[in-house]
């Protein structure tokens, strides 16, 4: 399952974003963007087996697009679109190969150029507020991520995107220990903090006791992009996500390009524009969408100018507006998203001088004096707190997750300096624990679709952890089995179990 998501994300989001950055740099357009690359994503992008498989996958996609160009040759409007995908897929392969199959190196390049600030995330995207009763696990999530980041980028991350934007007061202590200087919360994380933040979310605050900076998310700019009612991506001229030829075309023809077990899946080739609210869809027209993306970029910039000048009057100092979006919104859900970003950056650089782009690190360097408060518990999930991950369908997992955390801390205490086989066992135990903690499992159980997969993954990792715990304690590690699960769950090869304390 993760594998297909990765391929889609590479072709539809990461390569298009890299192309936007390349274009801007080539045209000497200055820009700033802060981007999270989670440790799991970086690991997947760097995995030789997945790289090999992506190459096969993209070659298949190119082949399908080629066949589509032939099949649609009597319908020029579709043939042009098939060609668009053919070019896009070919470009994706070229980019992938240009960066030696590891796209992380592309992002690193733009970070080194000072355009991109790459921040980290929890090691396996555990939801921190529901790990508060075992902070050792929060520490492990943070430290494993920071160490991994350092090994990839050759420096420590300046900031972190807390998984699901989930902040629990006190976790800033752990961030500080790990050398992290800033994080983000949803708007109410700052607005409902105490004492009351003078500038609302339009200036960062420092956490009381630690001085780690916290930036609150601006909802006005977020809404403009992702709101399903008024957001840009729902424009009728934009590409319709839900009409993929993987579902639309005759089965025998499409069979070689869908899932090997014969289940229809997205191929990435989609010929229609949103058209309107009904089911009737008209063919996508590239230049209409192009014009719309330019107009929307202009509109976004205009609104930020107005917002900034109003806030400037109110605050008596320039505001910072923090607009975070899911990376996969750009290109995957919103096909024109990367193009929109490109227009936006060009317009901001060339067409005006009222606002400018900035990264959190840069802002803090320029504005070191900020108010000290304790931000509020918050997340950007459903209803703003922990309910998405703590409800009738998924609350049973915490009993087991917390127990495993407690046992992991116990193991670290018993074996402070393990070597060889025991050390391998301890490191693997931490890997299994981290994998079990991924908030995705709780989320999937909460949404009620694909739940058996989430149940299986949760149990699998917890059971492996438990067996390791018992074998470690009774000094009876089954090396063959350990080697087997080291191979299956091979993330974070450099992990050090001692971070869990």
Q: Cβ 355 to another protein, closest distance in Å?
A: 16
Q: Cβ 432 to another protein, closest distance in Å?
A: 13
d(CA 112, CA 34): 13
Q: Kindly identify the residues of this chain, within the stretch 292-311, that bind another protein according to CB under 8 A.
A: 307, 310-311
On the 0-12 / 13-18 / 19+ scale of CB atoms within 10 A, 342 is buried
Q: Kindly identify the residues of this chain, within the stretch 236-265, that bind another protein according to CB under 8 A.
A: 238, 241-244, 247-248, 250, 253, 259, 261, 263-265
Cα–Cα distances in Å, from 247 out to 4, 56, 263?
16, 21, 9
Closest by CA to 399, choosing from 336, 470, 466, is: 466
- When asked if residue 54 is in the footprint of another protein (CB under 8 A), the reply is no
- When asked if residue 396 is in the footprint of another protein (CB under 8 A), the reply is yes
Region of 99-107, 116-124, 220-228, 345-353 interacting with another protein (CB under 8 A):
220-228
Q: Cβ 223 to another protein, closest distance in Å?
A: 5
Region of 10-18, 31-39, 218-226, 289-297 interacting with another protein (CB under 8 A):
218-226
- When asked if residue 453 is in the footprint of another protein (CB under 8 A), the reply is yes
Would you call 136 helix, strand, or coil by DSSP?
Answer: helix
Identity of the residue, 79 or 109, whose beta carbon is nearer to another protein in the bound complex: 79
Using DSSP, how many helices (H) and how many strands (E) does the chain show?
A: 20, 7
d(CA 235, CA 240): 10
Q: Cβ 187 to another protein, closest distance in Å?
A: 5
- When asked if residue 415 is in the footprint of another protein (CB under 8 A), the reply is no
Gyration radius (Cα) of the chain, Å: 24
- When asked if residue 382 is in the footprint of another protein (CB under 8 A), the reply is yes
d(CA 340, CA 331): 10
The H or E element spanning position 318 is: none
Q: Kindly identify the residues of this chain, within the stretch 480-499, that bind another protein according to CB under 8 A.
A: 480, 484, 487-489
- When asked if residue 378 is in the footprint of another protein (CB under 8 A), the reply is yes
d(CA 77, CA 347): 31
- x/- letters, 99..128, toward another protein (CB under 8 A): ------------------------------
- When asked if residue 234 is in the footprint of another protein (CB under 8 A), the reply is yes
User: Which residue has tokens 């995957």?
Assistant: 332
Q: Which residue intervals of 99-134 are DSSP H helices?
A: 104-112
- When asked if residue 373 is in the footprint of another protein (CB under 8 A), the reply is yes
Would you call 317 helix, strand, or coil by DSSP?
Answer: coil
- When asked if residue 209 is in the footprint of another protein (CB under 8 A), the reply is no
Which residue among 225, 289, 293, 294 contacts another protein (CB under 8 A)?
225
Which residue among 26, 287, 419, 452 contacts another protein (CB under 8 A)?
452
Which residue among 35, 84, 150, 200 contacts another protein (CB under 8 A)?
200
Identity of the residue, 302 or 310, whose beta carbon is nearer to another protein in the bound complex: 310
Which residue among 221, 305, 367, 501 contacts another protein (CB under 8 A)?
221
- When asked if residue 433 is in the footprint of another protein (CB under 8 A), the reply is no
Count Cβ neighbours within 10 Å for each residue of 79-113 and write b for 16 or more, e otherwise. bbbbebbbebbbebbebbeebebbbbebbbbbbee
Identity of the residue, 274 or 294, whose beta carbon is nearer to another protein in the bound complex: 274
Which residue among 28, 287, 399, 413 contacts another protein (CB under 8 A)?
399
The tokens of 42 are what? 């970086």
Angle at 333 (CA atoms; ends 389, 65), nearest 5 degrees:
135
Region of 314 (left: φ > 0; alpha: ψ -120 to 50; beta: rest) is alpha
Phi and psi at 58, nearest 5°, equal: -70, -35
- Which residues have C-beta within 8 Å of that of residue 164, sequence separation ≥ 6? 125, 127, 379, 380, 381, 388, 389, 439
# of chain residues touching another protein (CB under 8 A): 127
Region of 12-20, 135-143, 294-302, 454-462 interacting with another protein (CB under 8 A):
454-462
- When asked if residue 466 is in the footprint of another protein (CB under 8 A), the reply is yes
Q: How many other CB atoms are there within 10 angstroms of residue 48's CB atom?
A: 9
Q: Kindly identify the residues of this chain, within the stretch 318-357, that bind another protein according to CB under 8 A.
A: 326, 329, 333-334
Q: Cβ 214 to another protein, closest distance in Å?
A: 14
d(CA 194, CA 205): 11
Q: What is the torsional sign of CA 283, 284, 285, 288?
A: positive
- When asked if residue 390 is in the footprint of another protein (CB under 8 A), the reply is yes
Q: Cβ 357 to another protein, closest distance in Å?
A: 20
Q: Cβ 127 to another protein, closest distance in Å?
A: 11
- x/- letters, 64..103, toward another protein (CB under 8 A): ---x--xxxxxx--x-------------------------
- When asked if residue 204 is in the footprint of another protein (CB under 8 A), the reply is no
Contact 126, 160 (CB under 8 A): no
β-bridge partners, 160: 120, 183
The H or E element spanning position 205 is: strand 205-207
Q: Cβ 170 to another protein, closest distance in Å?
A: 10
Identity of the residue, 176 or 400, whose beta carbon is nearer to another protein in the bound complex: 400
β-bridge partners, 378: 167
Identity of the residue, 149 or 238, whose beta carbon is nearer to another protein in the bound complex: 238
- When asked if residue 192 is in the footprint of another protein (CB under 8 A), the reply is yes
- When asked if residue 22 is in the footprint of another protein (CB under 8 A), the reply is no
Q: How many other CB atoms are there within 10 angstroms of residue 267's CB atom?
A: 22
């Amino acid at each position: 399952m993760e594998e297909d998501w990765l391929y889609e994300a590479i072709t539809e989001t990461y390569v298009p974003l890299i192309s936007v950055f390349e274009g801007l740099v080539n045209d000497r357009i200055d820009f700033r963007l802060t981007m999270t690359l989670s440790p799991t994503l970086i690991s997947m992008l760097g995995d030789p087996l997945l790289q090999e498989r992506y190459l096969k996958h993209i070659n298949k996609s190119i082949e399908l697009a080629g066949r589509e160009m032939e099949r649609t040759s009597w319908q020029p409007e579709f043939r042009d679109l098939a060609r668009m995908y053919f070019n896009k897929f070919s470009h994706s392969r070229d980019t992938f190969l240009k960066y030696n199959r590891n796209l992380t190196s592309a992002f690193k390049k733009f970070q080194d150029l000072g355009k991109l600030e790459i921040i980290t995330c929890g090691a396996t995207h555990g939801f921190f507020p529901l790990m508060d009763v075992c902070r050792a696990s929060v520490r492990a999530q943070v430290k494993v991520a920071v160490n991994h980041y350092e090994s990839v980028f050759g420096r420590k991350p300046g900031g972190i995107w807390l998984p699901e934007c989930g902040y629990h007061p006190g976790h800033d202590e752990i961030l500080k220990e790990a050398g992290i200087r800033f994080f983000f919360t949803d708007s109410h994380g700052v607005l409902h903090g105490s004492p009351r933040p003078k500038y609302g979310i339009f200036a960062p605050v420092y956490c009381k006791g630690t001085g780690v900076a916290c930036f609150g998310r601006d909802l006005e700019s977020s809404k403009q992009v992702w709101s399903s009612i008024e957001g840009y991506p729902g424009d009728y001229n934009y590409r319709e996500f839900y009409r993929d030829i993987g579902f639309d075309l005759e089965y025998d023809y499409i069979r070689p390009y869908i899932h090997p077990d014969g289940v229809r899946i997205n191929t990435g080739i989609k010929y229609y524009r949103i058209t309107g609210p009904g089911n009737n869809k008209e063919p996508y027209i590239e230049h209409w969408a192009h014009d719309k993306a330019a107009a929307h970029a202009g509109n976004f910039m205009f609104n930020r100018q107005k917002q900034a000048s109003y806030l400037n009057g109110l605050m008596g100092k320039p505001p910072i507006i923090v607009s975070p979006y899911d990376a996969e919104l750009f290109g995957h859900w919103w096909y024109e998203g990367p193009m929109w970003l490109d227009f936006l950056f060009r317009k901001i650089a060339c067409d005006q001088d009222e606002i400018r782009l900035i990264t959190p690190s840069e802002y803090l360097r320029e504005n070191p004096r900020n108010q000290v408060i304790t931000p509020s518990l918050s997340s950007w999930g459903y209803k703003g707190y922990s309910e998405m991950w703590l409800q009738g369908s998924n609350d049973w997992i915490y009993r087991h997750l917390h127990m495993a955390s407690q046992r992991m801390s116990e193991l670290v205490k018993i074996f402070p300096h393990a070597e060889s086989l025991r050390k391998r066992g301890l490191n693997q135990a931490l890997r299994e624990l981290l994998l079990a903690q991924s908030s995705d499992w709780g989320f999937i159980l909460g949404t009620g679709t694909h739940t058996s997969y989430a149940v299986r993954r949760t149990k699998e990792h917890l059971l492996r952890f438990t067996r390791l715990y018992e074998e470690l304690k009774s000094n009876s590690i089954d090396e063959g089995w350990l080697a087997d699960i080291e191979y299956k769950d091979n993330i974070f090869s450099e992990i050090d179990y001692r971070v869990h304390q």
